Chains A and B, each alone.
Chain A
Amino acid sequence: MSAVDRSIRPPAGPPRPLVLPDFASPGETGPLDVRFARRHGIPEVSLRLVLEAGAGSEPAAHRGLASLAGRLLTEGTADRDAVAMARWLDRLGIGFDASVGYAVTIISMHALTDVLEEAVEFLGTVVLEPTFPEREVERVRGERLDEIDRQMDDPATVAGHAIIDALYGDGLYGRPTGGVRDTVSGITPESLRVFHERRYRPGRSVLMAAGDVEASRLADAVGGVFERWEGVAERPAPPVTPEAPRPRVILIDRPDSPQAEIRVGTIGVPYGTDDHYQIVLANAVLGGIFNSRINMNLREDKGWTYGARSGFRFRRGAGPFVAQTAVETAVTADAFGEILDEIARMQEELVPDEELELAKHALTLSLPLQFETSAHVTRRVSRQHIYDLPEDYWRGYRDRIEAVTAEEIRAVVRRRLPRERLTLLAVTDADSTESALGRFGEVERRSVEDARG
């Protein structure tokens, strides 16, 4: 037995080639486009139905309509009331979730392979036959309104909602997909039925499936259930990008808070810009991975926080960039200063080679992990459909990230995160932090109740 050399990182063996799953039609499935990848091993199947029924397709006066429709799919059909639907689903033991984003509604199911046919039958029933019964609509709408109120108890949620409001106002991305009190209050069973009628259509939808089943078995199950479904829900135009925000300083008073929830935000970019991969890599260096600059600075150097991170939300329109952390109240202003300094440093200096390599590897060598399970696979690949990403988005990902240079990173941070477009926002004890925040500009102070909007 040979001794090991502990003084250096042990060399890696030859890499195994990255095998990304191939999604293909499982056979004749009728009006619904189905894409399937066989995964051997665990006896489960992951289904992900992507519908053109996101918050972006609901009327602005009824923000939260798509989300409420998603919650009500399982609450009754002509033949089964809410309790009967729940009994059916729970007896099969299937995992079911309807999640509504700005672009699409995604119905995801996880089932053991022995109940695949029943799972697809359930899916067909909730997609094709929901009736949005008055009593259930009233209950679920009431639950959503309570939830909106309760969210104001959580300073992290208050900060998250307030920063998008500051950047986008009444625009689509300025409100949570679940809507706000005023817009949810007016939602009726009729408005839900109309929305469902218009937006739950097979044209433009896709069902992503992965798991350990025969393709023909999946095709038979889906084809039978969805054969009479018809029509198209066209994609709405992406929201217009608002004017670049002013550099504001917003302080939301939460007296005696032990910490400050802080956000530094601006309007970012949609998917598919020419500098997409430069942005992804620049953000990894700034705040996208554990070893990023703002986390190393605020956590590992200063000890001010449990963690700090940043991210661009790529969407069909220009989603936000937000850097976020929670720090001891006493260092609120200093923490903003450090985050702004880290952004400025990336605009002035080139990222050193070793740091750049680390960020590239973290993004590219992790691809096998990002495609590990059936659920991972359907999630990643459905993004290509939702955002019209090139067919080789994942296959070409590594080469495109590897090609980015330090100069391009410096240029992209200058272009996308100029200081004069950054909005600073904190939720914390205002009396003890307001004067120190003055160094960043005029402080707009408000209460949590004001921030409710």
Chain B
Amino acid sequence: MDTAGSVRLSLEEHTLGNGLRIILQEDHSAPLVTAHVMYHVGSKNERKGRTGFAHLFEHLLFQGSENVPREGHFKFIQDAGGTLNGTTWFDRTNYFETLPSNDLDLALWLESDRMGFFKPGITSEKLENQREVVKNERRQSYENRPYGLAFETVLDEAYAEGHPYRHPTIGYMEDIDAARLEDVHDFFDRHYGPNNATLVLVGDFEPSDALERIDRWFGEIPARPVPDRPEVPSPLGRGERRKVMQDRVQVPRVYLMFHSPSFNDPGFEATDVLTFLLSDGNSSRLRNALVYERQVAADVSAFTWPTESVGMCFVVATARPGVGSIELEREIREVLDRLVADGVEGAELEGGLNRARRALVEQLNAFGDRADAIAHAAVLRGDPDYVNSAFDIYAGLEAGDIEGIAREVLQPDRLTSVHVVPEGGDA
């Protein structure tokens, strides 16, 4: 697997008769297996008035099905010594468990009952319970947390009314309240067919045996009509967007978001490396200037989200006391402008590529993370082997690629700027 600090995973691909895509990655280094099912549906598929539904629906898929009792997923997997979870994002929803490899059938039973036999298990009582849990998740993770509503404000500013990326995955409170049982049935029928899903197995199994088991558990689930993919209009052309919001905080924080290449676009990797050069490590451009030299920021981070349809590149910085948000944004943009004007140095790029390579290796280390990376590449790019080819793409990046993407992306007309300021204060 090791070729000079990179990783080469051998992937075996199959498709069942019902359209379920299977990717097997055999690895006997630990007596464990991860089963990861990724459905090609997320918050961007939600309709108006039902924001947050894909995520609420994900909660309901832990509430049992025809053959699995309520809370059965947690109970059986913990009883087997495994871990499990599910997550929802703009573009996809995933369900996964890692457990001792002698219990592979348990994972396949639970995941296939979810996919094929969910509807008989759902009740309005379960919906009401999980609606309250999700509302408390929104309160705990967003509303009652400092700066917790900043990202959803960025999205709301950056995208036009009706754009699929305009609302946050957690959803708005009134929409979480509005969800009905018929929405649950409809969403399941529309998005949870085997031909809208990818199953990734990583770990300690024999591929031919595993494939046979998968076919036994999943093969009889009928295919459904493939859902329409939502139209995702280009977000460009709205010009610079700005908003100031107040929160119960003591110092301002600035959120800058630039429309950038998506995970599917050429230029994604260059944007990713650009963010490493900007804020990863104390020698990075923004940390060095804002935290060390000027001492105007307590922290700063730049990152890009690997989204399917439109990309987002963020710079987020928290002010030191006495520094206003306008001053902080000006300092950030001076650093960005300087990078665009002066270009990238050789040693700087070498370090950025080394850090990016380590990050790629790290995300392939634990079976659960590796399965997620493979599924993400398979579902969003249609190319699971990207987990391997990414090493070559990153290694081939040159200073000109980073400079080109910086010139293209770090422009005022691609910028959404949200300043979070203390209550009673202004920017």
Contact = CB atoms under 8 A, between A and B. Distances in A.
Nearest to B73: A290
Contacts of B139: 258-259, 326, 328
Given A1-B219, A150-B298, A43 B82 contact: no
A110 B365 CA distance: 12
A90 B351 contact: yes
Contact of A361 (B81, B108, B112, B217): B81
Interface stretch (A22-30, A92-100, A233-241, A408-416): A92-100
Interface residues of B, number: 92
B104 to A, nearest CB: 8
A86 B288 contact: yes
Interface string A294-334: 00100111111110000000000000000000111000000
A331 to B, nearest CB: 10
A16 B108 CA distance: 19
A302 B133 CA distance: 9
Interface in B325-384: 347, 350-351, 353-358, 361-362, 364-367
Contacts of A368: 30-32, 81, 100
B29 interface: yes
B136 A328 contact: yes
Interface of B: 1-2, 4-7, 27, 29-32, 66-67, 70-71, 74-76, 78-83, 98-106, 108-109, 112-113, 117, 128-134, 136-137, 139-141, 143-146, 204, 212, 215-217, 219, 248-251, 280-284, 288, 291-292, 295, 298, 318, 320-321, 347, 350-351, 353-358, 361-362, 364-367
B225 to A, nearest CB: 25
Contact of A366 (B27, B81, B133, B145): B81
B102 A365 contact: no
A41 interface: yes
Nearest to B81: A365
Contact of A146 (B217, B219, B320): B320
A43 B78 contact: no
A243 to B, nearest CB: 34
A44 B298 contact: no
Contacts of B98: 369
Contacts of B78: 289-291, 358, 361-362
A86 to B, nearest CB: 4
A-B pairs, 6 with minimum CB distance: A365-B81, A93-B354, A303-B132, A86-B282, A90-B281, A86-B283
A75 to B, nearest CB: 9
B139 to A, nearest CB: 5
Contacts, number: 244
Contacts of A139: 292, 295
A373 B67 CA distance: 34
Contact of A14 (B2, B102, B117, B143): B102
30 contacts: A1-B215, A4-B216, A9-B76, A9-B109, A16-B100, A40-B29, A42-B364, A43-B4, A43-B6, A44-B365, A82-B292, A83-B282, A85-B282, A86-B282, A94-B358, A110-B358, A150-B298, A212-B2, A259-B143, A289-B78, A290-B74, A291-B74, A300-B129, A303-B129, A303-B133, A306-B134, A326-B140, A361-B79, A365-B100, A368-B32
A3, A7, A41, A364 — most chain B CB neighbours (10 Å)? A41
A426 B372 CA distance: 38
A110 B108 CA distance: 34
Nearest to A17: B31
B103 A12 contact: yes
A338 interface: no
A10 B107 CA distance: 9
Contact of A369 (B1, B7, B82, B353): B82
A370 to B, nearest CB: 9
Interface stretch (A53-61, A151-159, A196-204): A151-159
Nearest to A44: B361
A185 interface: no
Given A42-B365, A94-B358, 15 more contacts: A6-B109, A13-B104, A42-B361, A82-B282, A83-B283, A91-B351, A93-B351, A112-B5, A258-B144, A302-B132, A303-B132, A358-B78, A362-B78, A368-B81, A369-B81
Nearest to B318: A150
B288 A83 contact: yes
A149 B361 contact: no
A74 interface: yes
Interface string A361-403: 1101111110111110000000000000000000000000000
A420 interface: no
Contacts of A2: 216
Contacts of A230: none
Nearest to B116: A6
A6, A17, A149, A212 — most chain B CB neighbours (10 Å)? A6
Nearest to B253: A150
Contact of A90 (B248, B280, B298, B357): B280
B75 A291 contact: yes
Contacts of B133: 299-300, 303, 305-306
Nearest to A257: B144
A12 B4 contact: no
Contacts of A369: 32, 81-83, 98-99
A149 B321 contact: yes
A352 interface: no
Nearest to A428: B144
A74 B287 CA distance: 14
Contacts of B113: 6
Contacts of B136: 259, 303-306, 326-328
